[in-house]
Every structure is written in structure tokens, then in C-alpha cells.
Amino acid sequence: MADNRGGPAHDPPETVADVGEFGLIRRVTAGRRQPATTLLGPGDDAALVAAPDGRVVASTDVLTEGVHFRLDWSTPEHVGRKAIAVNMADIAAMGAVPTALLVGLACPRTTRSEVAEGLASGMWDEATRAGAGLVGGDVVTAKEIVISVTALGDMGGREPVTRGGAMPGDVLAVCGRLGWSAAGLAVLGRGFRSPVQVVGAYRVPEPPYAAGPQAAAAGATAMMDVSDGLLADLAHICSASNVAIDVRTDLVEVPRRLVDVATALGADPMHWVLTGGEDHALVATFPEPEAVPEGWRTIGTVGRGTAVTVDGGPYEGGTGWQHFR
């Protein structure tokens, strides 16, 4: 059969409206394995998740198309992994182990089913990487793609590490990448798709999930993940703990790859490291240098006051991302 132009006719791509709400849910949950903490997974009115510690750590984030991701820059699988990673980083930042996730997906009825299934596939992959289960959620119609994720975690008998426990005399340390996502965003914003490693850091963050419980066990006094930029997020610790933090740039690692990309784009790689968001590294304070665990890098000190400084003075280049500005 030919169309009016003489070429072969093609069926229109399948949409989520064609599959239907419950058909889509069956597709994205069928055959998926759950960790032992999932006592009752998708398919009922609510899930049942084990809480061995007796307490549940919970956090939620919302990702909106055009603000947090673009499907011309990232595949649905990338976006799915990112949606899970940004939430589980918050659980790790409390010193907890991620156990379960609840996902809400809102999208236009014209969204291709392969996009929705790709999002789900990325979510399952990232949840599995962290040892958590995807235990339930909801699917609704909307004008644009919006992903809402609630993450749960278990403290394993430890006390949570909040933002409010830093003390003057502590040292500041970080675990994970800084500046990579900002560099990737800059590359994509210029219309390029490489270097792949840098662009990939923007598409899918790699939070060091195990480093959160590790820091808690080592006696971390305050901790959080770097979602909006190192200096911006350190300001939250300063406010909650009523302390000052000074970042020393001679201790901050600026990878050679970021230097090369910054040189090509006429940018400052240290600015990416200090203010770039969405890497979801973990930053924490420790009572003494000897308490900093393996894999963490000391990058500054905690003192009296309430300000974040860089090399003893204010940073003039802006501090990071804020919504509604």
C-alpha cells in the first residue's frame, strides 16, 4: 500500500493514549525484580516497604521538561536515571541507604509510548544500581512531561546527618564530581554533543550513594548533596549550623578534562566547580581531618560566623541556581 506521494505508508507512532494508563503501567512494571525491602510492590492501592531501622527517611523532587531536562539533549533513559539519582542523593545525604521509590509521571496523551517506557527503563536501572525498589506511583495526563519522585531510605541504626550539626573547627570535605554537569550544559548550550564524558555528566548524574552512610559512620557532623552549586548549598549548612565555611581553591580538584573544555569555550572551570549544580556530589563536615573517610577530599574549613567564603573572601561570580529568579 502506498501513500499519495508514492512511498510506503507507515503507521503513526504508538502513543500513551493508544496504550492506556493501565496498559502503560503493566508494560513498565512487568518482570521487574525488587529488593528484599519491597514487601509489596506495584499493583495494589499502596506499597509495603520494610523499615528495619524503625524510622523512614523520605524526600521528594519534581523534574519538569524544559527546566530540568530536554529530550533533544537527553534520551528518555537518561532522564529516567536522572530523576531517580537526584532523589536518592538526598537520601544518601542524610546518611541513609535508599530502599524504595514512588514515581508520578504526567505527560501529554500524544507522548510516544517508547518515550514513557524509556523513562521507566532508566528509572529501574538507576534504582537497581542503588539497591532500591520502584514500588509504585501514578500516571496522569498533562500539557508537558513532569516527573515526581519520592524516595525512601533506612538509617540502619545510625542517627541522621542533618545540615545543622557543623561546628567551628570542623573540616569540609566532598565526595563525587563537581562542575561536570555545568560543563556538559555549557557544551550542549553551544550546540555540541562532545566530549561524551562531559555531556554524559549533565545527562546522568552519578551520586556516590554509599558515601553517605560511610560519612555518617565516620562521624560527619553535617551533610548534604550538591544540587544547586557548591557555594549555594554550603550556605544552607552555614545557616542551619550558624557557622562560616571557607573553601580553599588550592584543595579543590579541577579535572584536566574540564580545563580543556573551559579553554575551548572561553570559560572558567573553577567557576563550574564552585557554582555548577546537578552533579549531586556529597559535601560534609567532619570534626577533624583524621575523620574524613577514604574517597572524600578535604576542601575547606568551618569557622565562626555565617558566611561562605572562598580563599578567605567573598566570591564575586555568583553562587548557584535558584528557582523563581
Q: Contact 161/221 with Cβ under 8 angstroms?
A: yes
How far from chain centre, in Å, is Cα 14? 30
Residue 163 assigned as binding residue: yes
Inter-CA distances, 253 with 3, 177, 274, Å: 59, 9, 11
Q: Which residues contact 95 (CB under 8 A, 6 or more apart)?
A: 155, 158, 159, 160, 161, 212, 213, 215, 216, 217, 220, 223
Residue 61 assigned as binding residue: yes
Residue 278 assigned as binding residue: yes
Torsion of CA 221, 224, 230, 231, to 10 degrees: -60
Q: Which residues contact 185 (CB under 8 A, 6 or more apart)?
A: 202, 276, 278
Residue 241 assigned as binding residue: no
Residue 227 assigned as binding residue: yes
- In whole angstroms, give the CA distance from residue 274 to residue 197: 20
Bridge partners, residue 139, by sequence:
105
Q: Which residues contact 228 (CB under 8 A, 6 or more apart)?
A: 277, 320, 321, 322
Omega within 30 of 0 (cis) for the link into 8: no
Count the Cβ atoms, other than its own, within 10 Å of residue 229.
26
Q: Which residues contact 246 (CB under 8 A, 6 or more apart)?
A: 300, 301, 303, 308, 309, 310, 311, 312
Cell digits for 271?
A: 567557576
Q: Contact 130/154 with Cβ under 8 angstroms?
A: no
Residue 60 assigned as binding residue: yes
Residue 170 assigned as binding residue: no
* Short-list 175, 185, 274, 294, CA closest to 234: 274
Binding-site residues for ATP sit at: 137-138, 163, 227
Binding-site residues for Mg(2+) sit at: 45, 59-61, 90, 138, 225, 228
Binding-site residues for substrate sit at: 68, 278, 321
Binding-site residues sit at: 45, 59-61, 68, 90, 137-138, 163, 225, 227-228, 278, 321
